[in-house]
Amino acid sequence: MFSNRLIAQTAEFDFYSPEYRLKFADYLYDSNDYLRALDEYRAYLKFSHNDTALFKYADCFFNMRRYEEAAVNFKSLFFNSKLGEKAKLKFYLSCFLTGNLDNFRKLAEYDVYQPEEYKTNVKLLSAISYLYEGKKASDTSEFFGAFPDSNKTEIKSLYDLKLNPPVKSELKAGILSAIIPGAGKIYTGNISDGIASFIVTGLTAYLSVSAFQHDHKFRGYLFAGMAAAFYAGNIYGSVAAANIYNARIRVDTDKKIRFYFESRNYYMPDLNVK
Protein backbone atom coordinates (compact mmCIF):
# COMPACT_ATOMS: atom_id res chain seq x y z
CA MET A 1 0.00 0.00 0.00
CA PHE A 2 2.85 2.36 0.92
CA SER A 3 4.61 1.59 -2.36
CA ASN A 4 1.46 2.33 -4.33
CA ARG A 5 1.09 5.69 -2.59
CA LEU A 6 4.77 6.52 -3.33
CA ILE A 7 4.34 5.62 -7.00
CA ALA A 8 1.21 7.75 -7.19
CA GLN A 9 2.99 10.74 -5.63
CA THR A 10 5.95 10.33 -7.95
CA ALA A 11 3.64 10.15 -10.94
CA GLU A 12 1.98 13.41 -9.83
CA PHE A 13 5.36 15.12 -9.50
CA ASP A 14 7.18 15.41 -12.82
CA PHE A 15 10.90 15.89 -12.14
CA TYR A 16 11.47 16.90 -15.75
CA SER A 17 8.75 19.52 -15.96
CA PRO A 18 9.91 23.10 -16.68
CA GLU A 19 8.57 24.25 -13.31
CA TYR A 20 10.59 21.68 -11.39
CA ARG A 21 13.73 22.33 -13.46
CA LEU A 22 13.46 26.05 -12.68
CA LYS A 23 13.07 25.41 -8.95
CA PHE A 24 15.99 23.00 -8.96
CA ALA A 25 18.11 25.41 -11.03
CA ASP A 26 17.36 28.21 -8.54
CA TYR A 27 18.30 25.92 -5.66
CA LEU A 28 21.63 25.04 -7.31
CA TYR A 29 22.28 28.70 -8.14
CA ASP A 30 21.64 29.78 -4.54
CA SER A 31 23.97 26.96 -3.41
CA ASN A 32 26.73 28.32 -5.69
CA ASP A 33 26.66 25.11 -7.73
CA TYR A 34 26.84 27.08 -10.96
CA LEU A 35 27.94 24.28 -13.26
CA ARG A 36 24.88 22.13 -12.57
CA ALA A 37 22.60 25.18 -12.37
CA LEU A 38 23.75 26.08 -15.87
CA ASP A 39 22.50 22.77 -17.26
CA GLU A 40 19.14 23.10 -15.50
CA TYR A 41 18.58 26.68 -16.68
CA ARG A 42 19.56 25.66 -20.21
CA ALA A 43 17.00 22.84 -20.17
CA TYR A 44 14.31 25.14 -18.74
CA LEU A 45 14.94 27.93 -21.27
CA LYS A 46 14.35 25.53 -24.15
CA PHE A 47 10.66 25.46 -23.19
CA SER A 48 10.04 28.79 -21.45
CA HIS A 49 11.19 32.40 -21.68
CA ASN A 50 11.95 33.94 -18.33
CA ASP A 51 14.15 37.04 -17.93
CA THR A 52 15.18 36.15 -14.40
CA ALA A 53 16.18 32.63 -15.41
CA LEU A 54 18.10 33.99 -18.40
CA PHE A 55 19.89 36.50 -16.18
CA LYS A 56 20.88 33.78 -13.73
CA TYR A 57 21.94 31.57 -16.64
CA ALA A 58 24.32 34.30 -17.80
CA ASP A 59 25.41 34.88 -14.20
CA CYS A 60 26.42 31.23 -13.90
CA PHE A 61 28.98 31.80 -16.66
CA PHE A 62 30.08 34.98 -14.90
CA ASN A 63 30.58 33.25 -11.54
CA MET A 64 32.58 30.48 -13.24
CA ARG A 65 34.80 33.19 -14.78
CA ARG A 66 33.69 32.35 -18.29
CA TYR A 67 33.32 36.05 -18.96
CA GLU A 68 33.02 36.02 -22.76
CA GLU A 69 30.08 33.60 -22.60
CA ALA A 70 28.56 35.64 -19.79
CA ALA A 71 28.76 38.83 -21.88
CA VAL A 72 27.01 37.19 -24.83
CA ASN A 73 24.12 36.02 -22.66
CA PHE A 74 23.76 39.27 -20.71
CA LYS A 75 23.56 41.07 -24.05
CA SER A 76 20.40 39.13 -24.94
CA LEU A 77 18.63 40.99 -22.10
CA PHE A 78 19.51 44.51 -23.23
CA PHE A 79 16.16 45.45 -24.69
CA ASN A 80 12.53 44.88 -23.69
CA SER A 81 13.52 43.36 -20.38
CA LYS A 82 12.91 44.53 -16.83
CA LEU A 83 16.45 43.39 -16.06
CA GLY A 84 18.00 45.27 -18.98
CA GLU A 85 19.86 47.83 -16.86
CA LYS A 86 21.43 45.22 -14.60
CA ALA A 87 22.25 43.03 -17.60
CA LYS A 88 24.03 45.96 -19.32
CA LEU A 89 26.21 46.64 -16.29
CA LYS A 90 27.01 42.94 -15.91
CA PHE A 91 27.84 42.88 -19.62
CA TYR A 92 30.37 45.69 -19.15
CA LEU A 93 31.83 44.08 -16.05
CA SER A 94 32.17 40.77 -17.94
CA CYS A 95 33.95 42.52 -20.83
CA PHE A 96 36.22 44.30 -18.34
CA LEU A 97 37.15 41.04 -16.63
CA THR A 98 38.09 39.31 -19.89
CA GLY A 99 41.27 41.41 -19.68
CA ASN A 100 40.85 42.94 -23.13
CA LEU A 101 40.71 46.49 -21.79
CA ASP A 102 41.02 48.24 -25.16
CA ASN A 103 37.95 46.40 -26.40
CA PHE A 104 36.13 47.18 -23.15
CA ARG A 105 36.76 50.91 -23.53
CA LYS A 106 35.53 50.85 -27.13
CA LEU A 107 32.32 49.15 -26.02
CA ALA A 108 31.93 51.68 -23.21
CA GLU A 109 31.67 54.42 -25.83
CA TYR A 110 28.51 52.93 -27.34
CA ASP A 111 25.62 54.97 -25.98
CA VAL A 112 23.13 52.35 -27.11
CA TYR A 113 24.69 49.89 -24.64
CA GLN A 114 25.04 52.32 -21.75
CA PRO A 115 22.80 51.54 -18.76
CA GLU A 116 21.18 54.85 -17.78
CA GLU A 117 20.90 53.75 -14.18
CA TYR A 118 24.56 52.67 -13.94
CA LYS A 119 26.46 55.06 -16.22
CA THR A 120 28.70 56.19 -13.37
CA ASN A 121 29.67 52.55 -12.72
CA VAL A 122 30.73 52.04 -16.35
CA LYS A 123 32.73 55.28 -16.14
CA LEU A 124 34.38 53.99 -12.98
CA LEU A 125 35.34 50.72 -14.69
CA SER A 126 36.90 52.73 -17.52
CA ALA A 127 38.99 54.66 -14.99
CA ILE A 128 40.09 51.42 -13.34
CA SER A 129 41.11 50.02 -16.75
CA TYR A 130 43.48 52.97 -17.29
CA LEU A 131 44.93 52.47 -13.81
CA TYR A 132 45.46 48.76 -14.51
CA GLU A 133 47.50 49.61 -17.61
CA GLY A 134 49.41 52.44 -15.97
CA LYS A 135 48.25 55.03 -18.49
CA LYS A 136 48.58 58.63 -17.42
CA ALA A 137 45.22 60.37 -17.21
CA SER A 138 44.81 63.25 -19.67
CA ASP A 139 42.44 64.90 -17.21
CA THR A 140 43.26 63.91 -13.63
CA SER A 141 40.24 65.71 -12.15
CA GLU A 142 37.91 63.70 -14.39
CA PHE A 143 39.85 60.51 -13.69
CA PHE A 144 39.74 60.82 -9.90
CA GLY A 145 36.20 62.15 -10.08
CA ALA A 146 35.02 58.71 -11.19
CA PHE A 147 35.86 57.25 -7.77
CA PRO A 148 33.97 57.66 -4.47
CA ASP A 149 35.15 60.67 -2.44
CA SER A 150 35.90 58.48 0.58
CA ASN A 151 38.50 56.48 -1.41
CA LYS A 152 40.21 59.20 -3.46
CA THR A 153 43.27 59.40 -1.19
CA GLU A 154 43.88 55.64 -1.61
CA ILE A 155 43.25 55.85 -5.36
CA LYS A 156 45.76 58.68 -5.73
CA SER A 157 48.32 56.62 -3.83
CA LEU A 158 47.73 53.62 -6.14
CA TYR A 159 47.85 55.88 -9.21
CA ASP A 160 51.23 57.32 -8.17
CA LEU A 161 52.54 53.85 -7.32
CA LYS A 162 51.53 52.49 -10.75
CA LEU A 163 53.01 55.40 -12.70
CA ASN A 164 56.12 55.75 -10.54
CA PRO A 165 56.95 52.36 -8.99
CA PRO A 166 60.01 52.34 -6.68
CA VAL A 167 62.27 50.61 -9.19
CA LYS A 168 66.07 50.42 -9.13
CA SER A 169 68.31 51.75 -11.91
CA GLU A 170 70.03 48.93 -13.79
CA LEU A 171 72.74 51.36 -14.92
CA LYS A 172 73.38 52.50 -11.36
CA ALA A 173 73.56 48.89 -10.15
CA GLY A 174 76.16 48.09 -12.81
CA ILE A 175 78.25 51.21 -12.07
CA LEU A 176 78.21 50.59 -8.31
CA SER A 177 79.47 47.03 -8.79
CA ALA A 178 82.12 48.26 -11.23
CA ILE A 179 83.41 50.61 -8.53
CA ILE A 180 82.99 48.27 -5.56
CA PRO A 181 82.27 44.61 -6.38
CA GLY A 182 78.94 43.56 -4.87
CA ALA A 183 77.73 47.11 -4.21
CA GLY A 184 75.16 46.90 -7.01
CA LYS A 185 73.64 43.76 -5.52
CA ILE A 186 73.45 45.39 -2.08
CA TYR A 187 71.72 48.35 -3.79
CA THR A 188 69.03 45.98 -5.10
CA GLY A 189 68.52 44.37 -1.69
CA ASN A 190 70.60 41.23 -2.27
CA ILE A 191 72.90 41.94 0.65
CA SER A 192 74.29 38.42 1.17
CA ASP A 193 75.03 38.04 -2.58
CA GLY A 194 76.70 41.45 -2.59
CA ILE A 195 78.95 40.58 0.33
CA ALA A 196 79.82 37.23 -1.28
CA SER A 197 80.70 38.94 -4.58
CA PHE A 198 82.95 41.43 -2.76
CA ILE A 199 84.77 38.70 -0.85
CA VAL A 200 85.23 36.31 -3.81
CA THR A 201 86.36 39.02 -6.25
CA GLY A 202 88.63 40.65 -3.67
CA LEU A 203 90.11 37.35 -2.56
CA THR A 204 90.97 36.12 -6.08
CA ALA A 205 92.47 39.54 -6.92
CA TYR A 206 94.58 39.40 -3.73
CA LEU A 207 95.78 35.84 -4.51
CA SER A 208 96.77 36.95 -8.01
CA VAL A 209 98.81 39.90 -6.72
CA SER A 210 100.41 37.73 -4.02
CA ALA A 211 101.36 35.06 -6.58
CA PHE A 212 103.03 37.63 -8.85
CA GLN A 213 104.89 39.12 -5.88
CA HIS A 214 106.31 35.68 -5.11
CA ASP A 215 107.18 35.13 -8.78
CA HIS A 216 104.50 32.42 -9.28
CA LYS A 217 103.40 33.62 -12.70
CA PHE A 218 101.16 30.67 -13.57
CA ARG A 219 99.16 31.03 -10.36
CA GLY A 220 99.20 34.80 -10.79
CA TYR A 221 97.63 34.59 -14.26
CA LEU A 222 95.22 31.87 -13.10
CA PHE A 223 93.89 33.92 -10.20
CA ALA A 224 93.92 37.08 -12.32
CA GLY A 225 91.70 35.36 -14.87
CA MET A 226 89.41 34.16 -12.13
CA ALA A 227 89.28 37.64 -10.59
CA ALA A 228 88.42 39.19 -13.96
CA ALA A 229 85.66 36.61 -14.52
CA PHE A 230 84.20 37.19 -11.05
CA TYR A 231 84.43 40.97 -11.54
CA ALA A 232 82.61 40.87 -14.89
CA GLY A 233 80.05 38.40 -13.54
CA ASN A 234 79.50 40.64 -10.53
CA ILE A 235 78.64 43.60 -12.80
CA TYR A 236 76.34 41.52 -15.01
CA GLY A 237 74.73 39.92 -11.95
CA SER A 238 74.05 43.34 -10.42
CA VAL A 239 72.30 44.55 -13.59
CA ALA A 240 70.29 41.31 -13.69
CA ALA A 241 69.43 41.69 -9.98
CA ALA A 242 68.07 45.19 -10.65
CA ASN A 243 66.02 43.83 -13.56
CA ILE A 244 64.56 41.05 -11.38
CA TYR A 245 63.89 43.50 -8.56
CA ASN A 246 62.00 45.82 -10.91
CA ALA A 247 59.94 42.97 -12.36
CA ARG A 248 58.99 41.87 -8.85
CA ILE A 249 58.01 45.43 -7.89
CA ARG A 250 55.78 45.75 -10.98
CA VAL A 251 54.13 42.38 -10.36
CA ASP A 252 53.54 43.21 -6.68
CA THR A 253 52.15 46.62 -7.63
CA ASP A 254 49.72 45.05 -10.11
CA LYS A 255 48.62 42.50 -7.51
CA LYS A 256 48.08 45.22 -4.92
CA ILE A 257 45.97 47.33 -7.28
CA ARG A 258 43.90 44.39 -8.51
CA PHE A 259 43.32 43.11 -4.97
CA TYR A 260 42.19 46.57 -3.89
CA PHE A 261 39.43 46.68 -6.50
CA GLU A 262 38.53 42.98 -6.39
CA SER A 263 38.07 43.11 -2.61
CA ARG A 264 35.65 46.02 -3.12
CA ASN A 265 33.87 44.31 -6.02
CA TYR A 266 34.91 47.20 -8.29
CA TYR A 267 32.44 49.42 -6.37
CA MET A 268 29.59 47.62 -8.09
CA PRO A 269 26.05 47.80 -6.66
CA ASP A 270 24.08 44.70 -5.71
CA LEU A 271 23.09 43.09 -9.02
CA ASN A 272 21.52 39.93 -7.66
CA VAL A 273 18.04 39.00 -8.86
CA LYS A 274 15.42 36.96 -7.07
pLDDT, residue 77, reads 93
| pTM score of the predicted model | 0.81
Per-residue pLDDT reduced to its tens digit, 159-216? 999 999 999 999 999 999 999 999 999 999 999 999 999 999 999 999 999 989 988 8
What pLDDT was estimated at residue 79?
Answer: 87
**Residue 62 and residue 68 in contact, taking contact as beta carbons nearer than 8 Å:** no
pLDDT value at 8 more than 50? no
∠ CA 117-106-132, rounded to 5°: 90
Mean pLDDT of 115-133: 93
pLDDT digits (tens, 9 = 90+) for 182-198: 999 999 999 999 999 99
Q: Quick one: pLDDT band at residue 6, thresholds 50, 70, 90?
A: very low
Q: Tens digit of pLDDT for each residue in 60-99?
A: 999 999 999 999 999 999 988 999 999 999 999 999 999 9
